[in-house]
Amino acid sequence: METIIIIVFLAGYLAITLEHNLKIDKLIPALAMMAILWAIIALNHMNVFEVNTELRELEPTHIDEILLHHLGKTAEILVFLLGAMTIVEIIDYFDGFATIKGYIRTRSKKKLLWLFSILAFILSAIIDNLTATIVLITILQKVINDRNTRLWFAGMIIISANAGGAWSPIGDVTTTMLWIADKVTAGQLVIHVLIPSIVCMVVPTLIAGTKKEFQGVIEGDFVQEEAKSKYGSIMLYLGLGAIVFVPFFKTITHLPPYVGMMLSLAIVATFAEIFSNKKFSISSVDGADHASEGHHSPVHSSLSKIELPSILFFLGILLAVGALESLGMLFHYAESLNTAIPNTDIVVLLFGVGSAIIDNVPLVAASIGMFGEPLDNPLWHFIAYSAGTGGSMLIIGSAAGVVAMGMEKIDFFWYLKKITWLAFIGFISGAVVFVLLRDFVLHG
């Protein structure tokens, strides 16, 4: 029966990986795989276990209890993401991200490269790498007319956004998962992963800056668009500040992160409603609609734009991995992996390379079930770095890459030829720095 379980999981995993070839949204195989796996467990009355992380052993439990346990841990992540996504959409409702475009005044390609890379690195740490990529490529399309030049910039934004998301507990779904699962604390994650992440961003940017694609100046004039909302900059800083507040709230109260995110959402939503009540709308056209239809809630509008397919995908994949964990498969796989490859650094680096080929969310979910190391063990920090930055090596290897691929119609093989080697050099450089810093702290 365990063979059937593995076949179902691998088939579902393959369907997720081949999402673009099959033209089927990855949430469909994720949800189907999850339901089928738990149905097989229930119908065959298979024994389920809970991992005792302190004793590193499996303890028998009941299917209802373990399923509720996994649903609870998954719901924490999903509610957290819903809150963060809503805040970002509220900022966008007031056209807050247009404020960032005001910082871009240079016409030098090399300066623009550094500006976009640094913005991607910082923004992705606050609003996550996916959203940061969307925001910056939208701005990129207004600043640079030549498509070939834009493709190069988009490739560098992907590398920088993934590097920026790796060191922040709110910067990438995988780091958020490790944080919510109490594998890392926000402060220690920043201390141990920030410098390797900076190296991962800086090294490829330095190399790219020497290439002819980033020499000279961009042609054409910047289009100065009129601000759509006088509250845009206020909502940008308020929204970003509210998201950054969440790790501090968790540290002070020791409550799960989603509680802090809900408080932040309530504060941002309150200001959004107040500003909206002042009869100021997004555009003159909307203004006419609002006047005739009455007050239109920015919160309701933002909630309608949330990417629910991603939420359902995470639900499916996390509960599917939870099924394997409950059967003890991940626990035994970790033991056999440690026996075959005693050096965990190599295992984690392979995770990083693997995250470029297959989705990093199930990889990290599996690692949480595989390893029993305590809170803030260097292993977890290394997993956060590798899973976060390794996906840059292929255009389909990260959420940032996939969204950039869609927005700029980037060809898979163009990225493989032009950007992959830069991403690989950055990934390895950061990994070497991480290992050196870790060994210096441990033995220095």
Q: What is the pLDDT of residues 374-400, one digit of tens each?
A: 889 999 999 999 999 998 998 878 888
- Beta bridge pairs of residue 60: 49
Q: Is 50 exceeded by the pLDDT of residue 292?
A: no
DSSP-assigned states of every residue in 156-213:
HHHHHHHHHHHTSTTTSHHHHHHHHTTS--HHHHHHHHHHHHHHHHHHHHHHHHTSGG
Least confident of 45-49, 225-229, 339-343, 360-364: 225-229
The answer to whether the CB of 431 falls within 8 A of the CB of 393 is no
The count of domains in the chain is 1
- Beta bridge pairs of residue 61: 48
Q: Stretch 33-51: mean pLDDT, rounded?
A: 91
Taking the C-alpha atoms of residue 205 and residue 208, their distance in angstroms, rounded to an integer, is 5
Express as a percent the part of the chain with pLDDT over 90: 45
Dihedral through CA 306, CA 312, CA 318, CA 322, nearest 10? 150
Taking the C-alpha atoms of residue 45 and residue 267, their distance in angstroms, rounded to an integer, is 47
The whole domain housing 249 covers 2-443
Taking the C-alpha atoms of residue 279 and residue 48, their distance in angstroms, rounded to an integer, is 57
Q: Is 60 exceeded by the pLDDT of residue 436?
A: yes
Taking the C-alpha atoms of residue 210 and residue 231, their distance in angstroms, rounded to an integer, is 40
- Burial label for 43, CB within 10 Å (0-12, 13-18, 19+), is exposed
Q: Of 57-66, 93-102, 238-247, which has the strongest mean pLDDT? A: 238-247
Neighbours of 355 (CB within 10 A): 28
Taking the C-alpha atoms of residue 110 and residue 399, their distance in angstroms, rounded to an integer, is 26
What angle (nearest 5°) sits at the alpha carbon of residue 389, between those of residues 432 and 342?
50
Left (φ > 0), alpha (ψ -120 to 50) or beta: where does 23 sit? Answer: left
Q: Is 60 exceeded by the pLDDT of residue 280?
A: no
The answer to whether the CB of 190 falls within 8 A of the CB of 167 is yes
What is the model's pLDDT at position 291? 41
| Position 332, amino acid | H
What crossing angle do the helices spanning 329-340 and 344-357 adopt, rounded to 10°?
120
Q: Which residue has the higher pLDDT, 330 or 176?
A: 176
Joined together, the tokens standing for residue 88 give 């970002």
Confidence class for position 442, pLDDT limits 50, 70, 90: low
Q: Of 40-54, 164-178, 354-368, which has the strongest mean pLDDT? A: 164-178
- CA-nearest of 216, 154, 123 to 410 is 154
Q: Stretch 300-308: mean pLDDT, rounded?
A: 87
- CA-nearest of 232, 203, 286 to 90 is 232
Confidence class for position 127, pLDDT limits 50, 70, 90: confident
- In the 8-state DSSP scheme, what is residue 257? H
- Beta bridge pairs of residue 108: 217
Residue with tokens 């799960």: 256
Taking the C-alpha atoms of residue 335 and residue 354, their distance in angstroms, rounded to an integer, is 19
Residue with tokens 């991962």: 200
Q: Stretch 51-75: mean pLDDT, rounded?
A: 83
The answer to whether the CB of 330 falls within 8 A of the CB of 369 is yes
Determine the straight-line distance between the first and last CA of the chain, rounded to whole angstroms. 50
Confidence class for position 272, pLDDT limits 50, 70, 90: very high
Per-residue model confidence as pLDDT tens digits over 189-205? 999 999 999 999 999 99
Left (φ > 0), alpha (ψ -120 to 50) or beta: where does 216 sit? Answer: left
Buried b (16+ CB within 10 A) or exposed e, 277-296: eeeebbeeeeeeebeeeeee
Taking the C-alpha atoms of residue 4 and residue 155, their distance in angstroms, rounded to an integer, is 40
What is the model's pLDDT at position 278? 63
Q: Stretch 321-345: mean pLDDT, rounded?
A: 82
- CA-nearest of 197, 161, 191 to 429 is 197
Q: What is the mean pLDDT of the chain?
A: 86
Q: Which residue has the higher pLDDT, 173 or 421?
A: 421
Residue with tokens 């924490």: 76
What angle (nearest 5°) sits at the alpha carbon of residue 252, between those of residues 248 and 255?
95
Taking the C-alpha atoms of residue 76 and residue 225, their distance in angstroms, rounded to an integer, is 40
The answer to whether the CB of 193 falls within 8 A of the CB of 171 is no
Confidence class for position 227, pLDDT limits 50, 70, 90: low
What is the model's pLDDT at position 293? 41
Express as a percent the part of the chain with pLDDT over 70: 92
Taking the C-alpha atoms of residue 3 and residue 9, their distance in angstroms, rounded to an integer, is 10
What is the model's pLDDT at position 17? 74
Q: Can you give the length of the chain in residues?
A: 444
Taking the C-alpha atoms of residue 215 and residue 202, their distance in angstroms, rounded to an integer, is 18
